[in-house]
Structure 1
Amino acid sequence: MNWDDWRLRINELDNQILKLLTERAEAALKIGDLKRRQEAPVYAPEREAEIVRRLMAANVGPLPAEAILAVWREILSACRALEATLTVTYLGPQATFTHQAARERFGSAGVYRPARSIVEVFDEVERGRAEFGVVPVENSTEGAVNVTLDRLIASDAVICGELRLDIAQQLLSKASDLGEVKRVLSHPQALAQCRDWLAS
């Protein structure tokens, strides 16, 4: 097959994928109707995890597991949004690690609202202004996040899932050599996460 033949083949496959996505979305709408009638929650993390595990086990390549996970996260998110729009609040501002964790958990089809504090995240969920809240519980450098633990004890909100997020920080400077850097400005949490590297 030549270049044009392969492009035609890809077009055919894309059309098949779109047809199957449409069928999946229609099935999700039917499930959404059943959930509403039975007053069942829209978000079923155990079912979504089961789907992802099954597909990851069935994947024989050449796409890596991370690619399959990313694609399916968005398919699940889009289908869930057909059932109902979920509002997720997280410790902000936008683009924080907590925001990243929220999007990794719920996909891009949700409504995301940053909160100014962990206490505000809990308040938004407790008052029904958000279906879910995403807060840090612990990290490898600073240990447990006490405000979160205190609120979990005092709140009626319950943990419905957890996500482990690998953190990477970048140092930005106009200096051409690290030895020229004399002062580093950052959020206290980021400085704490990087203190060993900064001290070296």
Structure 2
Amino acid sequence: MTADNLSALRQAIDDIDDHILDLLNQRASVVVEVGKAKAGQSKDFYVPSRERAIYERLTAANPGPFPSEAIRKVFREIISASLSLEQPMKVAFLGPQGTFTHAAAMQQFGFSAQLMPQKSIPAIFEEVARGRAPYGVVPVENSTEGVVSHTLDMFMESELKINAEIMLGISHFLMSRSGRMTDIKKVVSHPQPLAQCRKWLEENLPDVPLVDVGSTALAAQMALEDESFGAIASEMAATLYGLQVVKERIEDNPNNFTRFLVIGTNTPERSGRDKTSLMFNIKDQPGILYRMLEPFSKREINLSKIESRPMKKKAWEYIFFLDIEGHIDDEPITAAVTELRDYCQFLKVLGSYPRAR
């Protein structure tokens, strides 16, 4: 390839980039008008079902060679920047920066969102309930370690709704100031990552004490301050806190995912691939567990999860959490939930929202 040919190709790229920039600003102008229309109708400006439809339509229409898996990432940031034109997108998450909840919030809302770290799950619910942040992101379960009980317990007290769910692949990185395993005298992390990496730690650092701390980000901060500490945290945490990666992807189960929930004050509209979450307490009588599930079974409604938690105010009584495939406004689900109410002391619909990919 001659220098003239290369120069011509680079000029073609510059011309295309200029055209993309012009189109982005045209899109932004339309978004501003959409924001004005929503404000006049008191409609939510964040609509998860609309975002999903955009991603799926563009991925299906993509002829290549631009990779389809990159389309969502590119348009995630375009949508994030566009939403910031309508109004600042404030999102509370379980901080500090560098936690997996931080990564989940960024995946869902993009870099243009104003992400607000909180010290606890109750604090996230409080920020959203008081209107200081329209949305919050909380962890609810891990594919290896199970449910996050604090999140389920908060739904017993809160009237907030689930607006969306996020699935985040979890990879754990061992990091330190020096990047040398021989320098590590203690390994610090949140209890869940320590449990998820236990086999690797026993094989590679069998005599090194393990120390529980409040978050993976706090562990990274501690490793930054003391070179004898090795932290188990996300790759993002290593970048944020300027640490060296000692060993990457040390989780015992490579198929490791955490599910997060986006909480807000409203229930989003149908997306076509929805999930509904319920919370209820059943009356104690013979055969009640069978009758609790029968309304869904006879309508062939798929239950994707059932979980129980003890009631704090009554010994030996339990709250059940149920995830159903479909939207609460779907007629079979509405009928099944109405029938279930007859067996319950109370029942609360926690939300209907788009299922994560």
Query: Which category of TM-score, normalised to the shorter sequence, fits these structures?
Result: over 0.9
Answering whether residue 199 of structure 2 is matched by residue 188 of structure 1, we say no
Structure-2 separation of matches of 1:53 and 1:159: 22
> Structure 1 196/22 Cα, relative in aligned 2: closer, same or farther at 3 Å?
same
> Which residue number corresponds to residue 44 of structure 1?
47
Structure-1 separation of matches of 2:48 and 2:198: 36
Which protein has the bigger strand share?
A: 2
> Which residue number corresponds to residue 90 of structure 2?
87
> Which residue number corresponds to residue 113 of structure 1?
116
| Runs (5+) with no aligned partner, structure 1 | none
Of the three residues 43, 46, 56, the one matched with 2:59 is: 56
> Structure 1 177/84 Cα, relative in aligned 2: closer, same or farther at 3 Å?
closer
Matched position secondary structure for 1:49 = helix
Structure-1 separation of matches of 2:119 and 2:36: 35
> Which residue number corresponds to residue 74 of structure 1?
77
> Structure 1 175/94 Cα, relative in aligned 2: closer, same or farther at 3 Å?
closer
| Runs (5+) with no aligned partner, structure 2 | 204-357
> Structure 1 176/47 Cα, relative in aligned 2: closer, same or farther at 3 Å?
closer
> Which residue number corresponds to residue 20 of structure 1?
23
Answering whether residue 136 of structure 2 is matched by residue 133 of structure 1, we say yes
Q: Once the 2 structures are TM-superposed, how far is the Cα of residue 184 of structure 1 from its aligned partner?
A: 2.5
- One-letter amino acid matched to 1:26: S
> Structure 1 3/110 Cα, relative in aligned 2: closer, same or farther at 3 Å?
same
Q: Once the 2 structures are TM-superposed, how far is the Cα of residue 69 of structure 1 from its aligned partner?
A: 1.2
After superposition, residues 121-200 of structure 1 pair within 5 angstroms as 121-172=124-175, 183-200=186-203
Q: Deviations over 1:58-93 (max 9, x none)?
A: 122222223211110000001111111111000011
- One-letter amino acid matched to 1:49: R
Structure-2 separation of matches of 1:177 and 1:99: 27
Q: Deviations over 1:101-125 (max 9, x none)?
A: 0011011111111000001111111
> Structure 1 175/57 Cα, relative in aligned 2: closer, same or farther at 3 Å?
closer
> Structure 1 176/130 Cα, relative in aligned 2: closer, same or farther at 3 Å?
closer
Structure-2 separation of matches of 1:181 and 1:86: 40
Bigger relative contact order, structure 1 or 2 (CA pairs below 8 A, ≥6 apart): 2
> Structure 1 114/199 Cα, relative in aligned 2: closer, same or farther at 3 Å?
same
Q: Once the 2 structures are TM-superposed, how far is the Cα of residue 14 of structure 1 from its aligned partner?
A: 0.6
Which protein has the bigger helix share?
A: 1
- One-letter amino acid matched to 2:94: L
- Do the aligned residues in 2 keep the contact of 1:175 with 1:181 (CA within 8 Å)? no
> Which residue number corresponds to residue 101 of structure 1?
104
Structure-2 separation of matches of 1:130 and 1:194: 34
Structure-2 separation of matches of 1:175 and 1:6: 42
Structure-2 separation of matches of 1:177 and 1:12: 49
- One-letter amino acid matched to 1:147: H
Matched position secondary structure for 2:78 = helix
Structure-1 separation of matches of 2:145 and 2:70: 31
